[in-house]
């Protein structure tokens, strides 16, 4: 079964750090671009980061640029999101989402991991 499973979420104080992981299975992870998308409680979807198949090309949304870092380990089928200088407005469910090879859409999503930034 093609699957993405996020982990690493939790409660963190403002200014703190957290690293999220996304474990891929059921497909050739190294052949796919991957993204992180978040959703604040009761709100819509916000794309926050992209990484190319070999990790050479990376993009960020302005809202996280300079604070978050995306990376991947193709040997371990893992995607990461290092989140630093966290703010209350970063509170959200964080999803990893696979880039569709036929288009620029996201064809497979994980179930999400909740990050709460609060004192």
Partner 1 sequence: EIVLTQSPGTLPLSPGERATLSCRASQSISSSYLAWYHQKPGQAPRLLIYGASNRASGIPDRFIGSGSGTDFTLTISRLEPEDFAVYYCQLYGSSPPVWSFGQGTKVEI
Nearer to partner 1, 101 or 119 (CB): 101
| 8 Å CB contact between 51 and 71 | yes
Q: How far apart are CA 8 and CA 78, in angstroms?
A: 13
State which residue, 13 or 28, has the beta carbon closest to partner 1. 28
With a CB cutoff of 8 Å and minimum separation 6, the contacts of 48 are: 35, 36, 37, 38, 60, 61, 63, 64, 68
- At its nearest, how many Å lie between partner 1 and the CB of residue 45? 4
Residue ranges in 14-53 that form contacts with partner 1 under rule CB under 8 A: 35, 37, 44-47, 50
Nearest one of 30, 15, 24, 39 to 93, comparing CA atoms: 39
Q: Write each residue from 52 to 81 as x if it is in contact with partner 1 (CB under 8 A), else as -, in one continuous string.
A: -------x-x--------------------
Q: Residue 86 Cβ, how far from partner 1 at the closest point, in Å?
A: 22
Rounded Cα distance, 46 and 43, in Å: 9
- Chain residues in the site for partner 1 (CB under 8 A): 35, 37, 44-47, 50, 59, 61, 95, 97, 100, 102-107, 109-112
């Amino acid at each position: 079964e093609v699957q993405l499973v996020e982990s690493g979420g939790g409660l963190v104080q403002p200014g703190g750090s957290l690293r999220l992981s996304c474990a891929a299975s059921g497909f050739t992870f190294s052949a796919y671009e991957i993204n992180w998308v978040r959703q604040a409680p009761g709100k819509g979807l916000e794309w926050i980061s992209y990484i190319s198949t070999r990790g050479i090309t990376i993009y960020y949304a302005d809202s996280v640029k300079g604070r978050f870092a995306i990376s991947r380990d193709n040997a371990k089928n893992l995607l990461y999101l290092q989140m630093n200088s966290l703010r209350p407005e970063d509170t959200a469910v964080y999803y990893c989402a696979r880039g569709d090879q036929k288009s620029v859409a996201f064809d497979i999503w994980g179930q999400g991991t909740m990050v709460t930034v609060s004192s």
